[in-house]
Amino acid sequence: MDEPGTVEETAFAKINLALHVRHRRPDGYHALETLFAFAADGDRLTAAPADGLELTVTGPFAAALAGDDPADNLVLRAAVALRDAFGVTAGAALRLDKRLPVASGIGGGSADAAAALRALAALWTLPADDPRLGEIAGRLGADVPACLASRPVRGTARGDVLAPVDEAGLAGMPLLLANPRAPLSTAAVFAGWDGHDRGALAEGDPLAAALAGRNDLEPPARALVPAIDAVLARLGEAAGVRLARMSGSGATCFALFGTTAECAAAARSIADRQPGWWLLETRLR
């Protein structure tokens, strides 16, 4: 049982419904146009009162982080940055239940860092709408600002300049995530992008824009992990699928469905045929 005062947050899995890479910027980043959406599920993070700052990682994918320097973990970096920005003297005992695959294109450390900012703002009674939270998120990584909001938004620049979208057509859509248990380096995938600008992401209704869009990182990711081809094929052939695509830099792929029953049937079928894959049957927030 958690002690009194403990705050719990979900690090919602990030989905790039579409991801257009336009060009490489002078600062080394890539100019992106993307539609972010978020699953209703993800890693779980708890923050409890403590004298210092400490982080414990548990869960099915904790072993993937076992060799990392704890000081480099985005959760602890977010905690230190938040404490310093607001002059907080209290500490926190943080526990991350790592339920999502690592290096898989669905937010990972960015979503965990955003959950830490939300949880610690509540634990330390900081104003959740203070602009300093967004500033910290932007310094931690290009995806962290979107993960901090964890609502459908359109991202430009590095993906960190955000604009609201009409989420009515997205909320609650059945969602299936699939990963062949193959981690992928974001840097390696971007390095494999061919540099060709294939055009802008459409404006307007986000689902329509996503259906008309693409993920420009799919080809280099598929070259690095050919199993992505099979994942996309399985998702794309499922009955009732509205959109099947790779998220972010991969290797996690997603499918949106018209009904929960269709999503569940696809999950059962894929689990039977590919028992080694990681699957998450969920919905869009």
Domains and CATH numbers, the chain: 7-164 (3.30.230.10), 174-283 (3.30.70.890)
Average pLDDT estimate for 6-18: 98
Structure tokens that stand for 72 in this block: 């480099």
- In Å, the largest CA–CA distance within the chain is 54
Which residues are tagged catalytic?
Answer: 14, 143
Residue 100 CA to residue 44 CA, distance in Å, equals 10
Q: Which residues pair with 9 in a beta bridge?
A: 45
Dist CA 48 CA 5 (whole Å): 6
Q: Is it the case that residue 69 has pLDDT exceeding 80?
A: no
Q: Cα–Cα distance between 69 and 47 in angstroms, integer?
A: 20
Q: Is the pLDDT of residue 2 over 70?
A: no
CB 156 within 8 A of CB 32: yes
Structural tokens at position 50: 């403590």
pLDDT at 4 > cutoff 80? no
Q: Which two tokens stand for residue 133?
A: 């939270």
The pLDDT assigned to 241 comes to 98
Average pLDDT for 74-81: 97
What is d(CA 255, CA 143) in angstroms, rounded to the nearest whole number?
21
State residue 183's pLDDT score. Answer: 93
Round to whole Å and give the CA distance between 80 and 252. 30
* Per-residue confidence (pLDDT) for residue 72, from 0 to 100: 80
pLDDT at 70 over 90: no
Q: Report percent pLDDT > 70 for the chain.
A: 98
Asked if 232 and 274 count as a contact pair (C-beta separation under 8 A), the reply is no
pLDDT band at residue 3 using 50, 70 and 90 as cut-offs: low
> If we measure between CA atoms, which residue out of 145, 127, 27 comes closest to residue 86?
127
Which pLDDT belongs to residue 1? 42
- Global model pTM greater than 0.85: yes
Q: Other CB atoms closer than 10 Å to residue 232's CB: what's the count? A: 19
Number of helical (H) and strand (E) elements in the chain, helices listed first:
9, 10
Q: Which residues of 178-215 are buried (b: 16+ CB within 10 A; e: fewer)?
A: bbbebebebeebbeebeeeeeeebbeeebbebbeebbb
pLDDT 10s digits, 229-266: 999 999 999 999 999 999 999 999 999 999 999 999 99
How far, in Å, CA of 190 to CA of 142, rounded? 14
Query: What DSSP element (H or E) covers 229?
Result: helix 227-236
CA distance to 30, 57, 179, 195, 227, per residue, from 250 (Å): 17, 23, 8, 18, 11
Average pLDDT of every residue of the chain: 96
Which stretch of DSSP H or E encloses residue 8?
strand 7-24
